[in-house]
Structure 1
């Protein structure tokens, strides 16, 4: 039996699985990143990532000593500046760094309309990660003087294990200088010239299922990873999950509910409307469309702020209380507009835009819980309807809710859709391992147990009344029209717009 390690470097933790060539998970582990970002919004510490990776590898021993290859995936987009030794010269820069906003306004329009169209994405600081180059130049001149490679998190992780540099198209698509809609993956050199960035500072673009190199570094040895085994170039975390689910053009979309809530679908050609996030897929001729909202962050922030418990238990208590509210009591619940941080497509909020509406002195604790959860779930419905036209298709659902049926049922009721719930919290890591298995040994069918959750007919009228009221309150608070008509809008050439 051959086995493969999948490493998933997430926003808050590293997850690892060891996958056998028959598709079964032999072992799994999870380790949170040490909290090193406190007081440093928009930055990420690769040293903290190293600690969580080592912790995961130690948990996976001794099975780890027998693996035949490694697949990797990472959160995206986070830029990591690397020096000549391929080690970080400073902290990573995340897409939501508040200092990037003025730089985006200053530099984005220097790209030509042709190059902006080629990126396949709405111009935003979240789709213009290369702006971290100017951020580092202006704010950290010493670190910038030592910068040799402007990589993404995946570039850093690949170099950490193999000493080799690379970036795959699923991460490069959010750089703002990558040809996302073209036939060949390439950097847009004319855009880089307009931005006064030397193309040599960017890592080479390689396909996700290419072998980046073999494990050969001191770090790999320290973590207990066998030396001399292949490491794939890998990809971003949502594309890795899509691989585990077998997502290709024409297959069912899926929704991941984690720190970020992501709706993912796969198309055989690029969507030139650029309404949601778009990236090249795992294989030539595939494009992944991601509708995104910061649902997990919003739910955690509101659960804590509204006093539903401590950091570890607040969300579970809120969901428990919300599930017990129905009928007239549910109709009288307030609404939480959940955009507690900048949002990417299809909302495109450059600043937080959140609030609680409809709360009165008679609002109960249970109604507050229901209103908070409804706000997050109905924002998910907006993303679903903005990216996937309502129809008969079933949506895969996975996330951090484990085997608790409450949240999937409330989601089905609120959206009017059926979901196949994949009871697997480590889909990206499994997908990364399976990608490596395909390259080294041949395709592996991931064994994923699913259960169908359908909307309850007796809740349909209540759900539609809540949906209509939420859209109205959302519009009042955000000053925007609701989004659901977007998915059925006829495609038109991408025209650069500003948020």
Structure 2
């Protein structure tokens, strides 16, 4: 029986699965990234990633020895500057690094209107990762002098296993110097020249399911991965999850509730409105539209700050308490506006915009919990309404809530939508492994079951009243009109 390894390098942990050719998970493991070398907000340590990948591989045990290929997916966009030896010359730079703001303000307007249109995205730090080139050049000149490849996290992971470097279109789409809406899926050479970015340091663009190379490095031997096994280029994490769900133009959209909450739809042509994040799909002629919020992070931050326990247990406690309220208690609960960090599309908040309103002396701990959960879920509803047309079509739902139906039930009630819940926390890793199976052996594993959850009719009126009041409070805190389309301001650029 052929099996395939899928490695999912997330923002806080690495997940790994071994998938059989018929789609069954044979083994799985997870390892949190250990303490890094530091660097503050907006920096990440690839050495910590390497340790968690190693821990996952070792935890998978003897099943690893029989794999027929390796699929990869990673969080995105995080820029990794690497030297000639393939190792990072300094810490990676994440999209939300505050130090990137002045570089974004200076360099983004240098792009022509045509160039920005070609990127398919509203100009923001989240969609202009290439600006890290100038930040590193000025902030860390010694490291920059050793720069040979400016890749993203997926570039680093592929190099770690094979020694070869590449980037796929789903990751390149967020660099701000890549032709996302065109059909050639290539860098924009004129834009690179205008920005003063050396095109030679950018990795070659290859399709996600191309074979990058074979396992051949010292790390592979240390991890227990067989030598000579094919490794595909891989992709970003949301596209990998979309593959596992069989996403294609015309299929159901899906919502992932993890560290970030992502609403994903697949189109047969680019969306030139640049309303939400847009990236190339896994296959030529496909585009993925991602409405994104920092839902999981916001839930964890609020739960911890409001004293619901340590970070690991706080979210579970908040959800448990929030689900036990009577309708009358929910009606008088406060409101949490959850943007505790910058947001990407469709909100495009360059700065945090959060608040807690409606707290009184009679507010209970349970009502505070409900405020936190509702705030995150109602923002998910705003994203859904901006990116997915209303209708009877069910939405796939997956996330880190395990087999507990509480959070999906609260989501269905609050959004008025029907969800097909995939009880699978490692969907991106499964997608990465399945992509490898198709790429290497022309096998398409499918073994995903779902359960349907519908909104409860008896909660509909209360949920709509609370939704209306939430939008009013959201508008007061953010200064935005929640009834207006969630479209970005016109991009200021050179014509």
Q: TM-score, normalised by structure 2?
A: 0.98
Question: 2:491 matched to which residue of 1?
Answer: 496
| CA 1:96–1:334: 2 relative to 1, 3 Å | same
Counterparts of 2:374 and 2:423, CA distance in 1: 22
1:307 matched to 2:307: yes
**CA-CA distance at 1:250 after TM superposition:** 0.2
Once the two structures are superposed, residues 131-187 of structure 1 have per-residue CA deviations (whole angstroms, 9 ceiling, x without a partner) of 110110111010000001100000000011000010000000000000000011110
Contact 1:252–1:265 (8 Å) recurs in 2: yes
**CA-CA distance at 1:39 after TM superposition:** 6.0
Contact 1:434–1:444 (8 Å) recurs in 2: yes
Question: 2:439 matched to which residue of 1?
Answer: 439
Within a 5 Å distance, the mapping from 1:56-75 to structure 2 comes to: 56-75=56-75
1:187 matched to 2:168: no
Within a 5 Å distance, the mapping from 1:400-411 to structure 2 comes to: 400-411=400-411
Within a 5 Å distance, the mapping from 1:85-164 to structure 2 comes to: 85-164=85-164
**CA-CA distance at 1:306 after TM superposition:** 0.5
**CA-CA distance at 1:38 after TM superposition:** 5.4
Counterparts of 2:168 and 2:276, CA distance in 1: 20
Once the two structures are superposed, residues 328-366 of structure 1 have per-residue CA deviations (whole angstroms, 9 ceiling, x without a partner) of 211110010000110000000001111101111111111
**What SS does structure 1 have at the residue aligned with 2:393?**
coil
Question: 2:83 matched to which residue of 1?
Answer: 83
Q: TM-score, normalised by structure 1?
A: 0.97
Counterparts of 2:492 and 2:373, CA distance in 1: 32
**What SS does structure 2 have at the residue aligned with 1:62?**
helix
Counterparts of 1:184 and 1:421, CA distance in 2: 36
Counterparts of 2:20 and 2:408, CA distance in 1: 29
Question: 2:335 matched to which residue of 1?
Answer: 335
Contact 1:96–1:126 (8 Å) recurs in 2: yes
1:451 matched to 2:446: no
Question: 1:392 matched to which residue of 2?
Answer: 392
Deviates more, 1:438-447 or 1:132-141: 438-447
Counterparts of 1:231 and 1:426, CA distance in 2: 19
**CA-CA distance at 1:47 after TM superposition:** 0.3
**What SS does structure 2 have at the residue aligned with 1:313?**
helix
Question: 2:371 matched to which residue of 1?
Answer: 371
**CA-CA distance at 1:446 after TM superposition:** 2.3
Contact 1:385–1:485 (8 Å) recurs in 2: no
Contact 2:38–2:45 (8 Å) recurs in 1: no
Deviates more, 1:351-360 or 1:444-453: 444-453
Question: 1:292 matched to which residue of 2?
Answer: 292
Contact 2:4–2:68 (8 Å) recurs in 1: yes
**What SS does structure 2 have at the residue aligned with 1:354?**
strand
Contact 1:382–1:483 (8 Å) recurs in 2: no
Runs of 4+ in 1 over 3 A off after TM superposition: 483-486
Once the two structures are superposed, residues 232-269 of structure 1 have per-residue CA deviations (whole angstroms, 9 ceiling, x without a partner) of 00000000000000000000000000000000000000
1:425 matched to 2:425: yes
Question: 1:202 matched to which residue of 2?
Answer: 202
Counterparts of 1:39 and 1:207, CA distance in 2: 32
RMSD across aligned C-alpha pairs, in angstroms? Answer: 1.4
Counterparts of 2:132 and 2:356, CA distance in 1: 34
**CA-CA distance at 1:445 after TM superposition:** 2.9
Question: 2:27 matched to which residue of 1?
Answer: 27
Deviates more, 1:321-330 or 1:119-128: 321-330
Counterparts of 2:470 and 2:3, CA distance in 1: 48
Within a 5 Å distance, the mapping from 1:162-177 to structure 2 comes to: 162-177=162-177
**What SS does structure 2 have at the residue aligned with 1:19?**
strand
Contact 1:382–1:484 (8 Å) recurs in 2: no
Question: 1:265 matched to which residue of 2?
Answer: 265
Contact 1:117–1:495 (8 Å) recurs in 2: no
Question: 1:47 matched to which residue of 2?
Answer: 47
Contact 1:37–1:43 (8 Å) recurs in 2: no
